[in-house]
């Protein structure tokens, strides 16, 4: 029962974490036995790896990093608070809470080619069985591997659920599950996707996996133990989801709202529209609203809003404004600086 409670608590965490703001993904905490003026490097390193793992959805270690950062400078703030000791030999313990700087994390991830998972993360039911000498056994929330999966979910900011294994579950075949049964399981466990799989073997475990999301995705795996088999399968799903998101972004235009100040006539909009359309990802520019001295334009483009804004950050005609947008739907505010070769209106 304890293992099942752990997984259930982890599921609650995942449902929050799957859509959590970036600020929460930049937070982490460690239990320490001393209150120090500076954060020890080993603790800061472990905290950074936790934050990167949450942002990426994959287990990240820094042994292979191209650049080893000064981690302490990446932490905006930290705080010590008295806490319960996990180590029975320790007399006093503190919870060390840390908040990392978003720009520093994004720069480090880009420099080391660690791709953040910025879109909605699907909740996943893992419906897997392990073949034994007798009958295949459904791996339910009572299985010892459930504790490992709860740790995986918490570390990756994912929602991972194992079936309860009740009488209704026991009546479902373990191989070649029909589509209507997959939909039944999604509804029963309130998840977005189902990972089905069969694992067999002794010293080497061979896995056959099927990921039922928007479309069916199949693959095979090889591992030495059950925990690694699940960890590798989750890694595979994360990489697959990111790749599918990239494909969808390239196929489906995104929409961004840009507020542009220092605009006084419709002719200014014509010049701005023409200027923006020179960027290859931009497909269309239209007026969203007009205010006193500014105009908000709706831009349809390929790729994400973040990538578009990255392209515009060095545009000499669009100077980033330090003020918040007047139009509440705008993602960013600019000052229009009339190009030298543009006729004055």
In the block, residue with structure tokens 């589509």: 179
pLDDT of 170: 86
Q: What is the mean pLDDT of the chain?
A: 84
Question: How high is the pLDDT of residue 297?
Answer: 94
Predicted local confidence at residue 340, as pLDDT = 55
Question: Which residue stretches of 215-304 are H helix?
Answer: 226-251, 266-276
Is the model's pLDDT at 6 over the cut of 80?
Answer: no
Reply yes or no on whether the pLDDT at 191 is more than 90: yes
**Residue 310 — pLDDT band, cuts 50, 70, 90?**
confident
Tell me the C-alpha distance between 267 and 344, whole Å.
9
Q: Is the per-residue pLDDT at 16 higher than 50?
A: no
Confidence of residue 14 (pLDDT cuts 50, 70, 90): very low
pLDDT-wise least confident of 70-74, 86-90, 223-227: 86-90
**DSSP code string of 13-59:** HHHHHTT--HHHHTEEEEEES---SS--HHHHHHHHHHHHHHHHSS-
Which of 14-23, 290-299, 303-312 has the highest mean predicted lDDT (pLDDT)?
A: 290-299
338-344, long-range: CB within 8 Å, 24+ apart, which pairs?
338/271, 339/275, 342/271
**pLDDT, position 88:** 66
Confidence band (pLDDT; 50, 70, 90) for 36? Answer: confident
Domains for the chain: give ranges and CATH numbers: 22-111 (no CATH), 124-250 (3.40.50), 254-336 (3.30.70)
State pLDDT tens for residues 109-161: 888 888 889 888 999 999 999 887 777 889 999 999 999 999 989 899 999 99
The pTM of the full predicted model, rounded to 2 decimals, is 0.64
pLDDT, one tens digit per residue, over 200-249 is 988 889 999 999 988 889 999 998 999 999 999 999 999 999 988 887 77
The Cα 331–Cα 25 span in angstroms is: 21
Which two structure tokens, joined as six digits, stand for 101?
């700087």
- Do the beta carbons of residue 145 and residue 227 sit within 8 Å? yes
pLDDT digits (tens, 9 = 90+) for 125-137: 999 998 877 778 8
Alpha carbon separation from 249 to 228, 255, 281 (Å, rounded): 32, 11, 11
Could you tell me the CA-to-CA distances from 200 to 30, 208, 209, 279, 303 in Å, in that order? 38, 9, 12, 53, 41
- What is the share, in percent, of the chain residues with pLDDT greater than 90? 37
64-77: average pLDDT: 75
Residue 304 has what pLDDT? 84
Q: Can you read off the two tokens belonging to residue 235? A: 């890694």
- Beta strands 254-261 and 332-336, pairing class: parallel
Choose the most confident range, by mean pLDDT, from 27-36, 105-114, 182-191, 250-259.
Answer: 182-191
């Amino acid at each position: 029962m304890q293992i099942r409670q752990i997984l259930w608590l982890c599921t609650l965490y995942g449902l929050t974490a799957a859509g959590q703001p970036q600020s929460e993904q930049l937070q982490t905490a460690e239990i320490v036995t001393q209150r120090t003026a500076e954060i020890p490097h080993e603790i800061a390193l472990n905290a950074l790896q936790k934050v990167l793992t949450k942002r990426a959805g994959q287990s990240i270690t820094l042994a292979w990093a191209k650049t080893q950062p000064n981690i302490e400078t990446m932490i905006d703030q930290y705080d010590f608070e008295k806490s319960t000791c996990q180590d029975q030999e320790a007399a006093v313990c503190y919870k060390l809470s840390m908040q990392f700087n978003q720009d520093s994390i994004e720069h480090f991830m880009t420099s080391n080619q660690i791709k953040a998972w910025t879109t909605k993360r699907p909740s996943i039911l893992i419906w897997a069985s392990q073949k034994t000498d007798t009958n295949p056994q459904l791996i339910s929330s009572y299985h010892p591997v459930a504790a490992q999966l709860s740790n995986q979910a918490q570390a990756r900011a994912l929602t991972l659920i194992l079936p309860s294994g009740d009488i209704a579950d026991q009546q479902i075949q373990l191989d070649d599950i029909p589509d209507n049964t997959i939909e039944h399981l999604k509804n029963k466990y309130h998840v977005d996707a189902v990972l089905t799989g069969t694992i067999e073997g002794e010293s080497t475990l061979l896995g056959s996996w099927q990921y039922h999301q928007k479309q069916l995705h199949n693959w095979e795996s090889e591992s030495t133990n059950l925990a690694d088999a699940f960890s590798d399968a989750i890694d595979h799903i994360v990489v697959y989801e990111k790749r599918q998101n990239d494909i969808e972004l390239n196929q489906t235009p995104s929409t961004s709202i840009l507020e542009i100040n220092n605009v006084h006539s419709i002719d200014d909009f014509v010049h701005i529209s023409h200027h923006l359309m020179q960027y290859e990802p931009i497909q269309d520019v239209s007026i969203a609203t007009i205010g006193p001295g500014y105009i908000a334009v709706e831009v349809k483009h390929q790729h994400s809003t973040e990538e578009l804004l990255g392209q515009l950050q060095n545009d000499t005609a669009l100077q980033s404004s330090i003020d918040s947008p007047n139009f509440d739907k705008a993602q960013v505010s600019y000052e229009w600086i009339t190009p030298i070769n543009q006729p004055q209106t």
